[in-house]
Amino acid sequence: MKDLTSMLPGFARELRAGTIWIALLIGVALFTPRADGQVILDDYSLNDESNYNYLPRLNNPPDGWNVSSGELRPSITGNATGAWLWNHGEKLAEVGDSVSINLSLPGAANNGFWTGIGLLLSPRVDSASSLVGFWEITLSTSGGTYEFGITTATSVHRDSGPFPSSGTLTIEMIDQTPRGGSQYEVSYPGMTAPIVISASHSLYFGPVAYNTATTAAAFDNLTLTAVPKPSMYLAVFGVIALAMVCVQRRRKSGI
């Protein structure tokens, strides 16, 4: 058997090597691209509508997708609403998940209708499906007045401001119920308190625009913040455990 003095240098080398491997494996597990954490899904630096499904939600307007100068500047004509749902699978599905987008609405179309932009939430992403269960959450303006509205298939609710013409709209899931319902908190600058709505689990999301064809209405930085899923924690700890076992086996084989 080797004496202790001769074993120490080898043990130190194995420990250093094992530590490096553990660090590398943890890094791979933690930093492999995924939706966990805060991710800008689209900063509109590229004009790529293939990331979305277009839904002509009201009065069947033609697709008015338009990206210019690093912003989404949708062109929806007249008394009509169009939306673009993100189609890569990300959803609001867990308590703590949130989506946000920067809004800029400097003025109305001045054609007798309100002008609005915001986020659409829907349990379905397919543009051919019914939008029953959707939530349309928008900043809107007419004649210099700004309001915040929430529209569903059965109701319309508006809160008068004052609200700023630009800011970040954020929607976060704050609670789930055993029967499949969830509560979401809606926040925007100028709100005295967040608005809480009740909807289903697992909602798709994306920008929505109403009567914006002759305005400078714009979106930027569609961002998802997702809480790490339990399966990801298990994967990380599994990688760490496997690395430690490998280190122990290397140490034993060298004694």
Cα separation, 139 vs 136, whole angstroms: 10
pLDDT(31) > 70: no
Mean pLDDT of 125-145: 83
Residue type, 56: P
Cβ atoms 204, 134 nearer than 8 A: no
pLDDT(148) > 60: yes
Q: Taking the domain 41-227, which CATH number applies?
A: 2.60.120.200
Cβ atoms 250, 18 nearer than 8 A: yes
pLDDT, mean over the chain: 81
**What band does 197 get if pLDDT is binned at 50, 70 and 90?**
confident
Residue 3: the pLDDT is 53
CA dist 95 → 83, 103, 202, 228, 236 (Å): 25, 24, 10, 11, 21
Residue 152: the pLDDT is 87
Mean pLDDT of 77-98: 95
Q: What is the pLDDT of residues 210-232, one digit of tens each?
A: 999 999 999 999 999 998 865 44
CA angle 31, 37, 39 (to 5 degrees): 90
Q: What is the pLDDT of residues 152-195, one digit of tens each?
A: 888 888 888 789 999 999 999 999 887 768 889 999 999 878 88
Residue 7: the pLDDT is 47
Cβ atoms 147, 158 nearer than 8 A: yes
Residue 12: the pLDDT is 45
Q: What is the pTM of this model?
A: 0.76
Mean pLDDT of 73-82: 96
> From its phi and psi, is residue 110 left (phi > 0), alpha (psi between -120 and 50) or beta?
left
Domain ranges within the chain, ordered by starting residue: 4-32+232-253, 41-227
